Homo-oligomer: A and B are copies of this chain.
């Protein structure tokens, strides 16, 4: 069954989640590009009320569980961008690819646990159409000191 905007909206409410307002168009790049069946969402830094969620390095100050929650927030923002750009979740065919960049201390190995925060949110909200191919990697630093950045690619209907 294709993704339906009303179902997704109801599911978000059921999960106690609210889509953050989609970000404004930026100067030199845009939140999302849609071209012939594919939507590329810009890398999301998890923010709440203008503040980065759980900044720092995972494994050196930030707990993996908190980073997973931050990754979930970033994934929620990506959904908000998709809906804002496409006008409705009806236009989303499925999530195809997600890259989760984890700002991690040397020797950190539990990137999958952090990335699951993003992956599980997408599946919780979109069901099977939220399942995606994923890469999770550990980087040394991220914009604004974020502990995680999530880049989402989706297939678009029509």
- Chain A residues within 8 Å of B, Cβ to Cβ: 27-33, 35-38, 40-43, 93-99, 101, 103-112, 116, 119-120, 122-123, 131-145, 149, 151, 153, 155
Cβ of A35: which chain B residues have Cβ within 8 Å of it?
A: 37, 93-94, 96, 155
Q: Is the CB of A116 within 8 A of B36?
A: no
Given contacts A140-B138, A143-B112, contact A133 B30 (CB under 8 A): yes
Which one of B36, B94, B106 lies within 8 Å of A33 (CB-CB)? Answer: B94
A131 and B29 in contact, given A137-B101, A139-B139, A141-B109 (Cβ under 8 angstroms): yes
A141 pairs with B96, CB closer than 8 A: no
Give the interface centre of A29, A35, A41 by most chain B CB atoms within 10 Å.
Answer: A29
Whole-angstrom distance between the alpha carbons of A135 and B27 in the complex? 15
CB atoms of A119 and B29 under 8 A apart:
yes
Chain B residues in 8 Å Cβ range of A142: 109, 111, 137-138
| 28 A-B interface contacts by CB (under 8 A) | A27-B116, A28-B116, A28-B119, A28-B123, A28-B131, A29-B98, A29-B119, A29-B133, A33-B97, A33-B131, A33-B132, A35-B37, A35-B94, A36-B37, A40-B96, A42-B133, A43-B134, A43-B136, A103-B138, A107-B145, A109-B142, A109-B143, A109-B144, A110-B143, A111-B143, A135-B149, A138-B139, A138-B140
Check A42/B134 contact, CB under 8 A, given A28-B119, A28-B120, A35-B96. yes
Instruction: Identify the closest chain B residue to A152 (Cβ).
Output: B133
CB-CB < 8 A to A138: which residues of B?
A: 103, 139-142
